[in-house]
A and B are shown apart, each in its own frame.
Chain A
């Protein structure tokens, strides 16, 4: 149980295009999902917290108009990188926190999406 998927796993796009990344909790409902970014040889940096049915909460320094987050259901959150540029190239990882059940504060991570902007 507690499986999180992400799609696509890898994307290469041209500068100026927009890219949408999906994060799904496959076998549980997640009221809260989190989006992280990880640059090479660095740790995960939280970008935003996404709650189902409400606006995402962005971390300081993260442009909300550039990184659009939608959490339309208890099993799906999307991150859209708008007008992507080479400096947005990174490993984007989502995590989901189960709404209820035996889990405490655990978060389960998706496999990540490698974005390369040319």
Chain B
């Protein structure tokens, strides 16, 4: 089992719709969770981080964390063509400082 698992996609979403991305992880002691967006040929950029169970909203993005079920999700509301990218889920394990990345989910927003 991979430490961080994501559906590779592509996830095709109509413009204006909600894109829902999921990520599951195996290390129950993981403490910090991150969503990065990566455009082709570019480095990742941080969208959101979440440390506590529940929802965290930032603009059109909402991150959801459920430590009991070991999953973290990202919702993108009012999806725009510019949201077309690969979304990387990452975490830091307990007492660690390095990021462990999932394989990424490719999102395509169609006008």
A contact residues vs B (CB 8 Å cutoff)? 32, 34, 42-44, 46, 49, 91, 93, 95, 97, 104-112, 114
Contact = CB atoms under 8 A, between A and B. Distances in A.
A109 B98 contact: no
B88 A43 contact: yes
Interface in B13-45: 31-32, 34, 36, 41-45
Nearest to A44: B101
Contacts of A104: 32, 49, 51
Contact of A93 (B32, B43, B49, B97): B43
B43 A34 contact: no
A111 B42 contact: yes
Contact of B103 (A43, A95, A97, A111): A43
A44 B32 CA distance: 18
Given A43-B104, A49-B97, A49-B98, A110 B43 contact: yes
Contact of A106 (B31, B34, B98): B34
Nearest to A92: B43
Given A42-B103, A95-B99, 7 more contacts: A43-B104, A44-B101, A104-B49, A105-B31, A105-B51, A107-B46, A112-B43
